[in-house]
Amino acid sequence: MATRVCSFSKINLGLAIGPVRTDGFHGLTTMYQTLALHDVVSVMAHLADETRITLTTNHRHVPVDGRNTAWKMVERFIARLGISADVTIHIEKNLPVQGGMGAGSANAAAALLGLERELGVALDGVSRLEMAAEVGSDVPLFLLGGAVMGTGRGEIVVPMPDLAAIPCVVAVPETGVSTPAAFRDWDALPEAPSSSKDLDPLTPARKRDRLEELSLAYSSLSAKTGVVEPDTSGIVRDNLLDGDLGNKQGSSEDQNGMLNSLAENTLLALVRTGIGNGLRNDFEEVVFPQYPSLRETKRHLMGNDSGSSALYAALSGSGSALFGLYRSMADARAAQQRVQASGVRALLTTTLPRSDYWRRMFAG
């Protein structure tokens, strides 16, 4: 029987783009957050005289050969262990392909976890992360889950104090955005807008060298809100929730209220202190002018009335997916209806804290 692994998605709560590095990549600082929306990756494997990989999927645009990130991950794992195996992978796609939600990267991480379980052998945590970074910049975050700060190309990951589950709406436009083209457009920008009248109120003014500032802001927030440490299983946990909430008595409704309050306060702290002028995604500055409909979708996610407006909304990665985070599920449903009324697909979900990420990982 195959091992079924939930392949969860992510959003970028904030993303700052730095100068081009000597290796040709841009330096990045980003805050990832995993979501409950997911694909399902099924893995069957056994040791064999020679390695054979078979990959199938229900989505016609997903490659089923060595171009697939899950295939690449399996190849590297087998090579690193110096073994041969017969591996069959099936990817049941529910997430948009190339939508800025990390679906392909998550598939690679899920394939690794499924393969480890099938073969009864696992790499240590450092080797896992090193191998994941070879496959793709977004892959390592899916070996942590929850709130994760990424630096370098995004592949150097640090677990952050977790948000409790927050209602979230993900807008999935049909528009496709090329990440390489978005980076080229970013590099072509002048150092600053010519005048304040050029600024979009949804996208604050750019400041080119903000990577260190953003990293320090996130680290400062971590120090103020809690300490993240690994537990004995090697899975990171958040002592803020364990210590401040886990030991308190009261009804489940009381504790849920405390979690929601904590989540909102932590998110608002991110928004207010993340980059001085507020958390944001630099890609919006180049993507929105090229695709004005995405800017309009962000406006629908934000809302106009204070009763159901978003706590925060932004482009995820380079897009084209966008997301909004809300105080209540009722506010999220109202936002979903606004987006759908404009003709754009909208998915209702929640952010996925680290403990839930690992508890729900294996689908059975």
Task: State the average pLDDT for the chain.
Answer: 81
Highest mean pLDDT among 255-259, 325-329, 343-347: 343-347
Q: Given 39, 138, 282, 356, which residue is catalytic?
A: 138
pLDDT score for 210: 56
Give the structural domain span for 140: 3-160+354-359
Tokens matching residue 21? 């590095």
pLDDT score for 48: 96
**Which sign does the torsion angle of CA 41, 42, 46, 51 carry?**
negative
- The reported pTM is 0.80
Amino acid letter, 189: L
* Residue 50 backbone phi and psi in degrees, to 5: -140, 155
pLDDT score for 207: 44
- Among 113-122, 149-158, 336-345, the least confident range: 149-158
Closest Cα to residue 50, out of 87, 89, 4? 87
> Catalytic annotation on 138?
yes
**Overall average pLDDT of the 82-108 stretch:** 91
Give residue-wise pLDDT tens across range 166-192.
999 999 998 888 888 999 999 998 864
Counting the structural domains of the chain, the total is 1
Q: How far apart are CA 46 and CA 44, in angstroms?
A: 7
Highest mean pLDDT among 13-22, 85-94, 118-127: 85-94
- Which three-class secondary structure string do you get for the chain? CCEEEEEEEEEEEEEEEEEECCCCCEEEEEEEEEEEEEEEEEEEEEECCCCEEEEEECCCCCCCCCCCHHHHHHHHHHHHHCCCEEEEEEEECCCCCCCCCCHHHHHHHHHHHHHHHHHCCCCCHHHHHHHHHHHCCCCHHHHCCCEEEEECCCCEEEECCCCCCCEEEEEECCCCCCHHHHHHHHHCCCCCCCCHHHCECCECCCCCCCHHHHHHHHHHHHHHHCCEEECCCCCEEEHHHHHHHCCCCCCHHHHHHHHHHHHHHHHHHHHHHCCCCCCCECCHHHHHHHCHHHHHHHHHHHCCCCCCCCCEEEECCCCCCEEEECCCHHHHHHHHHHHHHCCCEEEEEEECCHHHHHHCCECC
**Overall average pLDDT of the 131-155 stretch:** 93
Give residue-wise pLDDT tens across range 23-62.
888 888 899 999 999 999 999 999 999 999 999 999 998 9
**Overall average pLDDT of the 77-99 stretch:** 92
Tokens matching residue 260? 């929601």
On whether residue 11 sits in a domain, the answer given is yes
Cβ proximity of 264 and 166 under 8 Å: yes
Amino acid letter, 80: R
Closest Cα to residue 330, out of 304, 358, 310, 352? 310
Checking if the pLDDT of 228 tops 80, the result is no
Q: How far apart are CA 46 and CA 2, in angstroms?
A: 11
> Catalytic annotation on 224?
no
Q: Given 10, 72, 93, 298, which residue is catalytic?
A: 10
On whether residue 230 sits in a domain, the answer given is no
Partners of 169 in beta bridges: 324, 348
On whether residue 296 sits in a domain, the answer given is no
Tokens matching residue 181? 């083209």
Query: Which CATH number does the domain housing residue 74 bear?
Result: 3.30.230.10
On whether residue 280 sits in a domain, the answer given is no
On whether residue 146 sits in a domain, the answer given is yes
On whether residue 108 sits in a domain, the answer given is yes
On whether residue 130 sits in a domain, the answer given is yes
Checking if the pLDDT of 153 tops 50, the result is yes
- Among 122-126, 144-148, 320-324, 330-334, the least confident range: 122-126
pLDDT score for 212: 55
**Overall average pLDDT of the 223-230 stretch:** 38
Does 256 or 212 have the greater pLDDT score?
A: 212
